[in-house]
């Protein structure tokens, strides 16, 4: 009933004028808060709490299209996110990606819109850094923790490669650095121990021979390698 009352106020609000508009919106907002709070503390099933949060979130998002109510978009998005987390908790979902992919995607969309419209455009770290970190780092952490499912390694390798390629093509430093870091860290964790076990089976002189040959190659091409490293450093530092 309170949520229906809030929806009714939101429907007629565009036809109201001040101060009647505020006198209707403030009680409706209080009713919405009371309804969600009572639903949560009354021992109701998590799915119903999530439904109440989602309904109020949809009402807030619908109201955000009105002038001077743009800030309700953030409120609605936050309520929808809490609704998602609530229903995932009720279903006993423990995979962190289920909780982080949605807000990470939303942050990337907001960053893309901000980067597209702002003059001058923000740095890639400000626009995309938070969303990419939230998207990649939880899965990388689970891979390092050793408790990850089999799908996590190929998933984070594919995501890291895609993000790194996107950063390289679009000249976005945050995407290139975070994608390459996730790719390298996951590769070392996933393939490092098997490679180490393989080196133990080789003759004792083999690792030293490989390291010596690598040092000879690097030494012979020192100037070219140094120039290449400097070019890469200048390229990355020149990205936004």
pTM for the full predicted model = 0.74
Q: Are 83 and 60 in contact (CB under 8 A)?
A: no
The pLDDT, as a whole number, for residue 204 is 67
Q: Are 112 and 88 in contact (CB under 8 A)?
A: no
The pLDDT, as a whole number, for residue 99 is 94
The pLDDT, as a whole number, for residue 132 is 95
Token pair 């000879």 in the structure block, residue: 216
Q: Are 49 and 86 in contact (CB under 8 A)?
A: yes
| Cis status, amide bond into 202, omega within 30 of 0 | no
Tens place of pLDDT for every residue, the chain, 240 residues? Answer: 455 555 554 554 555 455 545 545 555 566 566 666 766 666 667 788 888 888 787 777 777 767 777 777 888 888 889 889 989 998 999 889 999 999 999 999 999 998 988 888 889 999 999 999 999 999 999 888 876 667 888 999 999 999 999 998 888 989 999 999 999 888 888 887 776 666 666 676 666 677 677 767 666 665 555 566 566 666 666 676
Token pair 């289920």 in the structure block, residue: 98
């Amino acid at each position: 009933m309170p949520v229906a009352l809030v929806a009714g106020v939101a429907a007629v609000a565009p036809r109201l004028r001040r101060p009647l508009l505020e006198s209707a919106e403030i009680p409706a907002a209080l009713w919405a808060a009371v309804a969600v709070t009572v639903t949560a503390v009354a021992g109701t099933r998590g799915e119903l709490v999530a439904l109440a949060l989602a309904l109020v979130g949809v009402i807030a998002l619908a109201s955000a299209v009105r002038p001077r109510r743009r800030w309700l978009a953030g409120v609605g998005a936050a309520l929808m996110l809490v609704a998602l987390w609530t229903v995932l908790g009720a279903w006993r979902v423990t995979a962190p990606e289920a909780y982080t992919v949605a807000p990470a995607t939303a942050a990337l969309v907001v960053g893309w819109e901000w980067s597209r419209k702002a003059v001058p455009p923000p740095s890639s770290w400000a626009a995309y850094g938070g969303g990419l970190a939230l998207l990649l780092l939880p899965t990388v952490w689970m891979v390092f923790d050793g408790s990850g499912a089999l799908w996590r390694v190929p998933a984070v390798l594919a995501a890291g490669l895609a993000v790194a390629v996107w950063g390289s093509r679009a000249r976005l430093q945050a995407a290139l650095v975070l994608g390459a870091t996730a790719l390298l860290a996951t590769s070392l964790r996933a393939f490092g121990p098997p490679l180490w076990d393989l080196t133990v089976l080789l003759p004792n002189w083999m690792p030293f021979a490989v390291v010596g040959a690598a040092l000879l190659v690097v030494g012979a091409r020192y100037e070219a390698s140094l120039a290449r490293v400097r070019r890469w450093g200048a390229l990355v530092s020149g990205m936004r």
